[in-house]
Amino acid sequence: MKETKNILTKASVNRENLIHFLQTEDTEEHQALLAQARSVSMQHCGNAISLRGLIELSNQCRKNCYYCGIRAGNNKTDRYFLSDDIVLRAADYAWKKGFGSIVIQSGERQDKAFTDHITDLLEKIGSLTHRELGITLSCGEQSEDVYARWKEAGAHRYLLRIESSTEDLYYSIHPRDKAHDFEQRLRALENLQKLGYQTGTGVMIGFPGQHAGHLADDLIFMKDFGIDMVGMGPYIPHPDTPMYALAGSIPGESRRLELSLRMIALLRIMMNDINIAASTAMQTLDDTGRLQAILAGANVFMPNLTPAEQACNYSIYSGKPVFSDMAESALLHFEDQVTEEGYIINYHKWGDSKYYYRRIAGEKQEEHEKRT
Ligand code: 5AD
Ligand code: SF4
């Protein structure tokens, strides 16, 4: 790879500069930013891209986020819940193919039947794969007790997007009620971190009312919180949602993709060794979206393992690639593309966040110093 010039140093990361790089219309500056992030990623995370086989367990959701196609208020969606048999087959596939880890994602439910079901599934997957398969959960806000039980049952990473770290903006895309409480979401993230999960968050990029200042604040929030991993991507309007009415006011597709790439690049420069996912939504806007994300500093790829029949109902936004994405050939195609760029796929590894281990070691050191 060519030597790259650092256009943003740690010392020069501040709100003003972040806004500048999110807004710049200078294509050379854009390219230099992405090149720097890629070089930081190579240096701190290496050239191995980790896999997460994505299993979309259920689209049943009690919430009503204004932007999401599987919100409770959308009665045009057929609701499903994958049987244990299907989930275990997907996990077995991921394990045998050497994916190293899976993500179980679901709409949000907090009833006991659901939380017990997840515990049970985690245990079943653990015994099927001799606990060799890493498991990330993304099942929304839960009580501390539930998070603790799921951890005990075998989950070790958790993804809960903050969506926006600006409270007012958060409430412009969620109902202002008890089920969508901003403070509660923050508490949930804190609980996950406290319980020892590798904790991930993320935001949507380019939704109505969001400006560069909000995105800069999101990056600063992630850094200050000490997140271990991130999944963020462009907002994609879904016709069966209230927010669709505002679709005319958002930046165009190429601008949203560009902004998403810059967000990845900036975060990589700010947090050198966290895990950053190349999100599926990037691919929805551009056939090479996820490859571009990798080249901007992402290091995690999530092939979808949900069977086609159900995956088409897990439509959080329209145009989400499902059928094409699921086949093994999609991974092989991706592998070909990234190999050409000097990367390899991290088969058979959990692909944990290096930052997490540094963070934990730092906390232990701090505790030790307090005690002595
Ligand atoms: N566009 C992009 N991302 C979306 N999500 C939900 N709806 C949309 C949309 N219309 C994302 C949210 C959520 C994750 C499951 O999917 O960030 O956390
Ligand atoms: Fe439910 Fe998540 Fe969609 Fe909100 S974003 S409606 S919590 S699935």
Q: Using one digit for the tens of pLDDT, what is the confidence trace for 75-104?
A: 999 999 999 998 999 999 999 999 999 999
Lowest-pLDDT range of 7-11, 19-23, 169-173, 225-229: 7-11
Ligand 1 closest atom vs CA 317:
10
Q: What is the best residue among 60, 158, 316, 320 to mutate for testing ligand 1's pocket, by most ligand atoms within 8 Å of CB?
A: 316
Q: What angle do CA 79, 85, 87 make, to 5 degrees?
A: 65
Ligand 2 closest atom vs CA 59:
8
Would you give the DSSP letter of residue 14? S
Tell me: pLDDT of 316 over 80: no
* CA 92 / ligand 1 centre spacing (Å): 27
Would you give the DSSP letter of residue 74? -
pLDDT confidence of residue 222: 98
Report which protein residue has its CA nearest ligand 1's atom 13.
161
Ligand 1 closest atom vs CA 161:
18
Q: Is 316 close to ligand 1, i.e. is its CB under 6 Å away?
A: yes
Q: Is 65 close to ligand 2, i.e. is its CB under 6 Å away?
A: yes
Q: How confident is the model at residue 19 (pLDDT cuts 50, 70, 90)?
A: very high
Cα-only R_g, the chain: 20
In tens, the pLDDT along 328-366 reads 777 888 999 999 999 999 999 999 999 999 999 988 788
Tokens of residue 264, six digits? 């990845």
pLDDT confidence of residue 4: 57
In tens, the pLDDT along 170-226 reads 999 999 999 999 999 999 999 999 999 999 999 999 999 999 999 999 999 999 999
Rounded to an integer, what distance in angstroms lies between the CA atom of residue 229 and that of residue 291? 18
Q: Is 243 close to ligand 2, i.e. is its CB under 6 Å away?
A: no
Q: Is 222 close to ligand 2, i.e. is its CB under 6 Å away?
A: no
135 bridge partner residues: 102
In tens, the pLDDT along 233-274 reads 999 999 999 999 999 999 999 999 999 999 999 999 999 999
* CA 281 / ligand 1 centre spacing (Å): 8
Cα dihedral 321/322/323/329 (nearest 10): 80
Burial pattern 58-94, b for ≥16 Cβ within 10 A else e, equals bbbbebbbbbbbbbbebeebeebbbeeebbbebbeeb
CB neighbour list of residue 270: distance below 8 Å, 6 or more residues apart? 10, 13, 219, 222, 223
Type of residue found at 285 = L
Contact between 203 and 169 (Cβ < 8 Å): no
Give the DSSP per-residue string, 145-170.
HHHHHHHHTT--EEE---B-SSHHHH
Tokens of residue 29, six digits? 């500056």
pLDDT confidence of residue 6: 83
User: Of 49, 39, 44, 99, nearest to 338 (Cα)?
Assistant: 49
Instruction: Give the torsion sign (CA, 288, 246, 189, 122).
Output: negative
* CA 245 / ligand 2 centre spacing (Å): 18
Q: pTM of the entire structure? A: 0.95
Q: Is 139 close to ligand 1, i.e. is its CB under 6 Å away?
A: no
Q: Is 140 close to ligand 2, i.e. is its CB under 6 Å away?
A: yes
Type of residue found at 235 = Y
Tell me: pLDDT of 107 over 60: yes
Which own/partner contact pairs does 8-16 have at CB distance under 8 Å and 24+ positions apart? 8/33, 8/36, 8/266, 8/269, 10/269, 10/270, 13/266, 13/269, 13/270, 15/213, 15/216, 15/217, 15/220
**Which ligand minimizes its atom distance to the CA of 107?**
2
Give the DSSP per-residue string, 289-355.
HHHHHHHTT--EE--B-S-HHHHTT--SSTT---HHHHSHHHHHHHHHHHHHTT-EE-TT-----HH
Tell me: pLDDT of 165 over 80: yes
Tell me: pLDDT of 319 over 70: no
Q: Is 56 close to ligand 1, i.e. is its CB under 6 Å away?
A: no
